[in-house]
Structure 1
Amino acid sequence: MPTNNIPFRETNYFSNFICDYLDQKPELKDFYHRFPDLENFEAQIEEKRQSDHVSESHRKILVNTLKSQYKNLETSDLTAEHIELLNSENTFSITTGHQLNLFTGPLYFLYKIISTINLTKQLKETYPNYNFVPIYWMASEDHDFEEINYFNFKGKKIQWNSKQTGAVGHFNTEGLDDVFNVISSEFGAGKNAEQLKAWFKEAYLNHNNLANATRYLANELFADYGLVILDADDRDLKRLFVPQMKKELVEQVAFETVSETNKKLEDLELKIQVNPREINLFYIKDGLRERIVNIDDEFQVLDTDISWSKSELLNHLDESPERFSPNVIMRPLYQEVILPNLCYIGGGGEMIYWLQLKSNFEAQNVTFPMLLLRNSVLVKSEKQAEKQEKLNISDKDLFLDRHAFINKKVRKISNIDIDFSEQIQHLESQFKNLFELAEQTDKSFHGAVKAQEVKQIKGLKHLEKRLLKAQKKKLADQIERSTELQEQLFPNQSLQERTINFSELYLEYGEDLIPALIKSLEPLRGKFEILTT
């Protein structure tokens, strides 16, 4: 795949917050531990090795849990090897996480996992005495079903409707046969279409819940690369997290630490992503996933009649840790307690909320991981690339919003100069002389000169707009072809990776798609990738 790239800041699709992090602005240094440069991993490895949370007993529980979760799944030799390697004190993980979106959801699901796989390969080359395992953490305890119950395919929303509640990983797959009938029609015929249909059918019609379906699908896509898929909604794993959950319930640690961090970020005029609750744990039971609150020294499950005294709650936590579920604030802490993890890879929004959490990790005495922004990618076909070249559109221009894109295109292809900035600059220079003259004669004349300057500059800008409008009409055919290309690559004026599903690309490229992406993407390059296939 021919590749190009541009800085994230120049895409105008990423916040100043995340761009400042990528630029390692000094004012953000207190909010992360080590920046994900290749040479920084050595110190991160050494610190994690000394952590109590990667002990031999922790590793054994993790490995046994993974083996149990994989027992009914056809596992590649490399994935099986990676699971076994997690028993070794010289093995560390690189982790990404994602919701259980229907049929993987947006395209960037692939890029998260590919970034994770490729980073483990790069680390192994640099630090051959250690082993590195790529892990996909399934967000099986999430309860925002409306965020995950659909995917987009060629401008259509393919949706699964269900009235189930609670943690989505527990949802049974009833009703997905209707979705299968829809996608069978939409995908059409051909080898690649049949493969997509086979994956969907096996995942969602032959597995009893959404977590198992998602595990099957991710394993089908990435098992050859040794991906290890973890569902942390597990009794034995949560037992490892009991000390941190107790501290959260009794001392409300996260609320105090994250609130203080948020205030510091707000003082820097940075927009925070999440706000902590006084207690950042949910209670899970029989289709229920609801917040735990403390009201007048009584612990309650919100909007239910479930309640405990402090001692009763702590006893219940010891007896049934699987009933307790971390929210967005505590989930990262849970991850780092149960995994020998060095680095978390996520999108821009995820990076921001992780930057809010370092103080809570410190209060809980848990090593804070390195944070890496996942690869972001625009994929163009050769035909689209040829059209782009004929229309003389640069890669950078493609990222402009529609109005700016059209205006720049008109100015570029017009046979007359539509940029009046030189004339406006000349006019401002002339009025500067008039202002000097007014100062020397009658200062009351200053207001009249200013009014005339404003009037004439406004007139020039109005003429420029009229000329631009006339040229748009004259050059309508070229403008239409240009905007049609931009719309293909930026559906609904959004990033391709945030809009379309991987199935659109798989229909065209088939089994070559993922190997080509694996070969092309470099997780530590730190730029937006543009690939031509």
Structure 2
Amino acid sequence: MNTEQYDLPSAQPLTEAYIHRKDANLDVLYGYHAGQEQDWTTRMQRLEELAGSRANAAEVAEVLRQYNSPNTTPEVDASIRAIAEGAPVIIGGQQAGLWSGALLVIHKAVSVVSGAKWATEKLGRKVVPVFWIAGEDHDWDEANHTYVLNAEQELRKLTLQRPEGPRTSVSRTQIEADGWNTLLEELEQTLPHSDFKPGLLEQLKQITEQSRSLSDMFAGILAFLFGKEGLVLLDADDPKLRKIEAPMFRRMIEQNDELEQAYKSAAEKVKSFGYQLQADVVEGSANLFVFNQANGDERTLLHKRDGQFQDRKGTAFWSKDQLLQLTEEQPSQLSNNVLTRPIMQDYLFPVLGTVLGPGEIAYWALTGEAFRKLGMEMPIIVPRMSFTLVEGTIAKHMMKYELSFEDVAKRFEARKQQWLGEQDQLSIEEKFHEVKQSFITMYGPLLELAGSVQPGLLKLGETNRQKIVEQIEYLEAKTKDAFNKQYDASIRQLDRIALSLWPSGKPQERVINMAGYWNRYGSAWLEKLLELPFSPVGGHQLVYL
């Protein structure tokens, strides 16, 4: 397979320092390191020692069996049976996104699957891949859209408008059949014609017919793409899962002040090491949400004040006893935030390693002390593998214009203009520059002459000179445009390179949806990613399709 390594910095100094082991101070924040082979064995031993502090594996497996049953495969069934028997897991997660969201979601799932296979071979025992769908999140604007390249090679944004109602979780926001049909029609109009298009649309139609929410649709796509790999799915907002989580919610409420201090202490360490915080550690935050039934199940972040828990505006209140009662009677009304979710994940599963993106790795640095406060231990942080898919046509164009991936990512516009300049055998810019300079030089004595006759003519002459220069520049621009039109096809090819590899000035994986590749290559593009060797410290690869 034709691939190429490329060092793609994450823009997160803390993450870079962790991955490349640049700062020994970080050991106190993260503990294990994915690149240390012995740490995997040590973590496995610790999971066995801590087995009694986690949720009942058989009960968790039964909830997973029910959740995965609509789309299950023999491989997923085998994975769930292994979980019931106490198998460790490699886990990663993401908020649901329209048609699976940006490519990085697929990359994370590939990392989870490949990481589980790698760990299975490394440890000599079954390690199960699990994908945590963050259906409890309520940020609709993050989940409701994606970008697809259309037949005209333009980036088109597809969006699902939020139904009327309170700001509840994505999993609890119901989508009607008409909404799915409209989205499918829009996708059909956007994607170019191909041999794989009818099958793609039919598969998505079958998935949406079974989907009551974006989370359901998201799970259906992941199940279809990764079912044969044994990837187990869960929705964090599954009420059956919430029932199992109740004891940990109880501990989080009872020890809330201690957890808050742990997060604050970790935040101070992060800052003292010279890094910025990637998650808010707010004074008085409970780091938990309640689905406020009095307000249509709106997901409400809890703050502590005067011995009570309340919403941000102080208009709704809960006592500690009331929250503890919820853990017993209605645990589905409770929800984690970004700082408590890692703990809940580790309570449900024997997490050998958790696959995280750059931003996640940075904010997980805040959670280590909270883990320890509860007698737990942070799992191994596994950086997500990252890819750029390079289609054959794009690779040919890059060779034609002598562009490297780094040229496209860091200096595309400059290289594009450089190429156009190299085609200019007429020296248009140089000749116009010479004429402008000659005119300005020749005009100088005339200005002096006019000013000596009447001082007021000097300003008039300067205005006149500027107008003439502007007319020369106008003719220069028109001449350049006319010249460049000879290279319209080349400019389109150059722009297509940037749009495919670095759309909107961002990495491909953060913008483009996988539907375009499914449409052009069927399953071949994904199979290539799954065949790549796993790297426990992540890294970026250019994958030539």
TM norm. shorter chain > 0.5:
yes
Q: 2:60 aligns with which of 47, 59, 62?
A: 62
Deviations 1:60-109 (A, max 9, x none): 111111112123x13111110000011223x1100010111111010111
Pairs within 5 Å for 1:273-288: 273-277=278-282, 278-284=285-291, 285=293, 286-288=296-298
Deviations 1:284-310 (A, max 9, x none): 244321122333223334558653333
Q: How far off its partner does 1:270 sit?
A: 1.5
How far apart, in 2, do the equivalents of 1:258 and 1:211 lie? 30
How far apart, in 2, do the equivalents of 1:348 and 1:219 lie? 25
Q: How far off its partner does 1:496 sit?
A: 0.7
Tell me whether 1:387 sits opposite 2:401 in the alignment: no
Pairs within 5 Å for 1:447-462: none
Question: Retained in 2: the 8 A contact 1:259–1:275?
Answer: no
Q: Give the partner amino acid of 2:114.
A: N
Q: 1:111 aligns with which of 107, 114, 123?
A: 107
Partner of 2:301: 291
How far apart, in 1, do the equivalents of 2:340 and 2:93 lie? 14
How far apart, in 2, do the equivalents of 1:326 and 1:15 lie? 24
Q: Which moved more, 1:91-100 or 1:18-27?
A: 18-27
Q: 1:102 to 1:289 in 2, by over 3 A?
A: same
Q: Give the partner amino acid of 1:65.
A: V
Partner of 2:530: 518
Question: Retained in 2: the 8 A contact 1:54–1:340?
Answer: no
User: Structure 2: which 5+ residue stretches go unaligned?
Assistant: 150-154, 426-475
Q: 1:498 to 1:24 in 2, by over 3 A?
A: same
Q: 2:502 aligns with which of 470, 490, 498?
A: 490
Q: 1:46 to 1:408 in 2, by over 3 A?
A: farther
User: Structure 1: which 5+ residue stretches go unaligned?
Assistant: 416-468
Q: How far off its partner does 1:188 sit?
A: 4.8
How far apart, in 2, do the equivalents of 1:180 and 1:202 lie? 11
How far apart, in 2, do the equivalents of 1:293 and 1:92 lie? 35
Q: How far off its partner does 1:327 sit?
A: 0.9
Question: Retained in 1: the 8 A contact 2:387–2:541?
Answer: yes
Q: How far off its partner does 1:325 sit?
A: 0.4
How far apart, in 2, do the equivalents of 1:256 and 1:44 lie? 26
Q: 1:247 to 1:504 in 2, by over 3 A?
A: same
Deviations 1:475-525 (A, max 9, x none): 975787545523332111211111110011111111212111101252326
Partner of 1:313: 323
Q: Which moved more, 1:182-191 or 1:57-66?
A: 182-191
Q: 1:34 aligns with which of 26, 32, 51?
A: 32
Question: Retained in 2: the 8 A contact 1:8–1:14?
Answer: no
Q: How far off its partner does 1:408 sit?
A: 7.7
User: What secondary structure, in the 3-state scheme, does the structure 2 residue paired with 1:523 have?
Assistant: coil
Pairs within 5 Å for 1:68-83: 68-71=66-69, 73-83=70-80
Question: Retained in 1: the 8 A contact 2:34–2:537?
Answer: no
User: What secondary structure, in the 3-state scheme, does the structure 1 residue paired with 2:127 have?
Assistant: strand
User: What secondary structure, in the 3-state scheme, does the structure 1 residue paired with 2:182 have?
Assistant: helix
* Count of aligned pairs between the two proteins: 473
Question: Retained in 2: the 8 A contact 1:53–1:338?
Answer: no
Partner of 2:95: 99
How far apart, in 2, do the equivalents of 1:393 and 1:518 lie? 28
How far apart, in 2, do the equivalents of 1:407 and 1:36 lie? 43
Deviations 1:8-42 (A, max 9, x none): 33xxx533222111111213222102111244211
Deviations 1:192-245 (A, max 9, x none): 212221232222233223333222221111101111001232445334444443
Tell me whether 1:18 sits opposite 2:15 in the alignment: yes
Q: 1:135 aligns with which of 113, 130, 136?
A: 130
Q: How far off its partner does 1:322 sit?
A: 1.5
Q: Percent identity?
A: 21
Q: Give the partner amino acid of 1:135.
A: V
How far apart, in 1, do the equivalents of 2:333 and 2:247 lie? 15
Question: Retained in 2: the 8 A contact 1:247–1:253?
Answer: no
Partner of 1:248: 252
Q: Give the partner amino acid of 1:2.
A: N
Q: How far off its partner does 1:414 sit?
A: 11
**TM-score for both structures, normalised by structure 2:** 0.80
Q: 1:383 to 1:501 in 2, by over 3 A?
A: same
User: What secondary structure, in the 3-state scheme, does the structure 2 residue paired with 1:328 have?
Assistant: coil
- Structure 1 runs (4+) deviating above 6 angstroms are 407-415, 473-476
User: What secondary structure, in the 3-state scheme, does the structure 2 residue paired with 1:229 have?
Assistant: strand
How far apart, in 2, do the equivalents of 1:53 and 1:231 lie? 24
Question: Retained in 1: the 8 A contact 2:59–2:84?
Answer: no
User: What secondary structure, in the 3-state scheme, does the structure 1 residue paired with 2:339 have?
Assistant: coil
Pairs within 5 Å for 1:35-50: 35-37=33-35, 38-50=37-49
Q: How far off its partner does 1:381 sit?
A: 1.3
Q: 2:210 aligns with which of 202, 206, 213?
A: 206
Partner of 1:227: 231
Q: Give the partner amino acid of 1:187.
A: L
Tell me whether 1:334 sits opposite 2:344 in the alignment: yes
Tell me whether 1:187 sits opposite 2:198 in the alignment: no
Q: 1:105 to 1:43 in 2, by over 3 A?
A: same
Q: Which moved more, 1:317-326 or 1:396-405?
A: 396-405
Q: How far off its partner does 1:282 sit?
A: 0.6
Tell me whether 1:146 sits opposite 2:141 in the alignment: yes
How far apart, in 2, do the equivalents of 1:276 and 1:383 lie? 47
How far apart, in 1, do the equivalents of 2:290 and 2:145 lie? 26
Tell me whether 1:158 sits opposite 2:141 in the alignment: no
How far apart, in 1, do the equivalents of 2:238 and 2:213 lie? 15
Q: Give the partner amino acid of 2:62.
A: N
Partner of 1:440: none
Tell me whether 1:196 sits opposite 2:200 in the alignment: yes
Question: Retained in 1: the 8 A contact 2:383–2:537?
Answer: no
Q: How far off its partner does 1:120 sit?
A: 1.1
How far apart, in 1, do the equivalents of 2:159 and 2:533 lie? 31
CA RMSD, 1 decimal: 2.9
Question: Retained in 2: the 8 A contact 1:53–1:340?
Answer: no
How far apart, in 2, do the equivalents of 1:352 and 1:529 lie? 22
Q: 1:126 to 1:409 in 2, by over 3 A?
A: farther
User: What secondary structure, in the 3-state scheme, does the structure 1 residue paired with 2:343 have?
Assistant: helix
Q: Which moved more, 1:259-268 or 1:326-335?
A: 259-268
User: What secondary structure, in the 3-state scheme, does the structure 1 residue paired with 2:171 have?
Assistant: helix
Q: Which moved more, 1:179-188 or 1:506-515?
A: 179-188
Q: Which moved more, 1:518-527 or 1:383-392?
A: 518-527
How far apart, in 2, do the equivalents of 1:276 and 1:355 lie? 12
Q: Which moved more, 1:290-299 or 1:504-513?
A: 290-299
How far apart, in 1, do the equivalents of 2:68 and 2:376 lie? 28
Q: 1:508 aligns with which of 492, 504, 520?
A: 520
Q: 1:401 to 1:242 in 2, by over 3 A?
A: farther
Q: 1:401 to 1:49 in 2, by over 3 A?
A: farther
How far apart, in 2, do the equivalents of 1:255 and 1:403 lie? 48
How far apart, in 2, do the equivalents of 1:79 and 1:356 lie? 33
Question: Retained in 2: the 8 A contact 1:107–1:497?
Answer: yes
